[in-house]
Amino acid sequence: MGIFRKKNQEPDNQSDDEFDEEEEQRPLILFQGATNGKNANIAAYARLAEAGLIPAKELVTDGVLRRAELVKLDVKGERALINFQIDGLNYKGHRLSKQHAAAITQMLKLLSGLDVKERAKPQRGGIRAEFEEKKYEVEVVTKPVGKGVERLQLNIKDLAISLETPDDLGFSAEFKGKVRSATESKGLVIACGPPGSGTTTTAMAMLRCIDGYVYSVFTIADMMGRDIANVVPFEVNEGDELPQTIARLVRNEADVVFIDPLRSPEMAKTVLELSRQVTFMAELNAKDSIHAIHQLIKASGDPEMVSERVNCIVTQKLVRKLCEGCKMAFRPNPKILEKVGLPVETRVLYHPPPKPTGDEEDEEVPEQCTECLGLGYRGRVGMYEFIEFTDELRAAIQQGSSANDLKAIVKKARMQTLQRDGIRLVGEGKTSLEELQRVFRSKK
C-alpha cells in the first residue's frame, strides 16, 4: 500500500477517507547503507525486516516523490500520523497503526546503523539512498516520547541540489557587489535571520563573494564541513581569547575574519570593539536588520559604537517559487501595482492555478500538474535585505531612534529590504503576491 496520493494537496487538510489498496507495484527507493558505515545485519532481524522494510521504503519513497525535506511520524495513542514538510509547509499524510509505525521506525534505525534495542535515548543516523538514478541522503532522527514509543523524523536531502554558491542562492550581481564593498573597510558585516532559516548558508555564500586574490580571508568558525577556496582556516591557540586570536590574525595580515555566530551580548560587544582592526563577518539571530541593530545596541550599551562599527546587515527569508509547469498569468490591476510598489506598466504577474472546488462536474477538471503535484509551487528562493550603514542611518542610531524611525530612513533611501526584494521576485514572475503575504504574515 502507498502513502502517496494523487490528490490535490492542501496544507494541514485532514482527510480521513481510507484509500484504495488497488495500487500496483511501484518503484521504491533503494537503500545503500548507513552513513556511519555500520551496515545493518538484516538476517539477525528477519522478522523486523519482514514487517518493516517495505513500509519503510514506501514512506521514504513518498517523501522523495513529494519533494519533502522533512517527514515526521508521530504516535498518538493507538495511531500514528505522517506529516510531510514541503518547501517549509506542513502537509498531513495518512494514519498508521501504532505497531505499523513502530516497525517502520525500528527498521529505519536498523538501516541507519542505530541501536535498534535502544528506545529510551534520542538517536541520529543516516542512510544513503537512490531513487530513479538520483542520490539522496536520509537522516534518521528518533526521540523517545515515553512508554517505549519513539517519534521519528527523516530529513531527506537530494544530493543533486547544491545550495552553496552565491549563484545557487540567487544573489544578484548587484547584491554580490554590495557584499564585496561592505567587506572592504574594517568593521562588522552581519548575516541575520531566524534559527534554521539557512543563515549559515547565506553567510558562507557571502564569504565566497570576497575576492580572494585581493583580500586575505580567514575563518575561526565551525565551517560545518565546508571547504571554501578563498577562505583559510586559522588555528586558535588553546586558552586564547578572541582578542589574542585577532592580534595573531592581524599579524598574519588578515583582512576579513569569519567568526562563530554572535550568541552572547558579551561576544557581540567584544567583536564590535575588535572590529577596528579587521573586518568581521558573523551571524546574528534576529528576524530582520532593524532588530539586529537594537540587539547590538543592547549588547554593547553603546549606540555610537554600533553606528560606527557596523558596515552592513544582510537578512534573508525564503519564499516558495511558483511552479513553472502550471503558473498562470494575469493582468494586474494598476491600483494593486501602485500599492505594492511595482511599475504601473507591469503587464503580467502570475499566480498558482485555482484549487479544484469539487463542484466542477460540468466543466473540464484540469489534469493535476505533474511537476508540483497540484501545490502550485516548487522549490524556494531567497529574498535578501541589505541594510547599508549610511551617514543618515548612523546618525539616527546614535540618537537612539525608534525602530519605526530607522525603517523610515531605510525606506526613504530605497535600500533593498526584504519586502522590496520580495516584490522584485513577484515582478519577475518567480513568486506570487499571495505567497509573499503568507511569508510576511508567518511568525517564522
Q: Which residues bind Zn ion (CB under 5 A)?
A: 323, 325-326, 369, 371-372
Return d(Cα 222, Cα 105) in angstroms, integer: 32
Give the nearer residue to Zn ion in terms of CB position, either 178 or 320: 320
Pull the grid cell for residue 126: 543516516
CB of 370 to Zn ion, least distance (A): 8
CB of 353 to Zn ion, least distance (A): 7
- Expressed in percent and rounded to 5, the helix, strand and coil fractions of the chain are 30, 25, 40
CB of 323 to Zn ion, least distance (A): 3
Return d(Cα 211, Cα 230) in angstroms, integer: 8
Q: What Å distances lie between residue 335 and 339, 340, 343, CA to CA?
A: 6, 9, 11
Give the nearer residue to Zn ion in terms of CB position, either 350 or 386: 350
CB of 87 to Zn ion, least distance (A): 12
Burial bucket for residue 346 (CB in 10 Å: 0-12, 13-18, 19+): middle
CB of 369 to Zn ion, least distance (A): 3
Write down the residue that cell numbers 559604537 correspond to. Answer: 305
CB of 372 to Zn ion, least distance (A): 3
Write down the residue that cell numbers 514506501 correspond to. Answer: 58
Write down how long the chain is. Answer: 444
Q: In angstroms, what is the C-alpha Rg of the chain?
A: 25
Amino acid at 326: C
Contact in structure between 80 and 173 (CB atoms under 8 Å): no
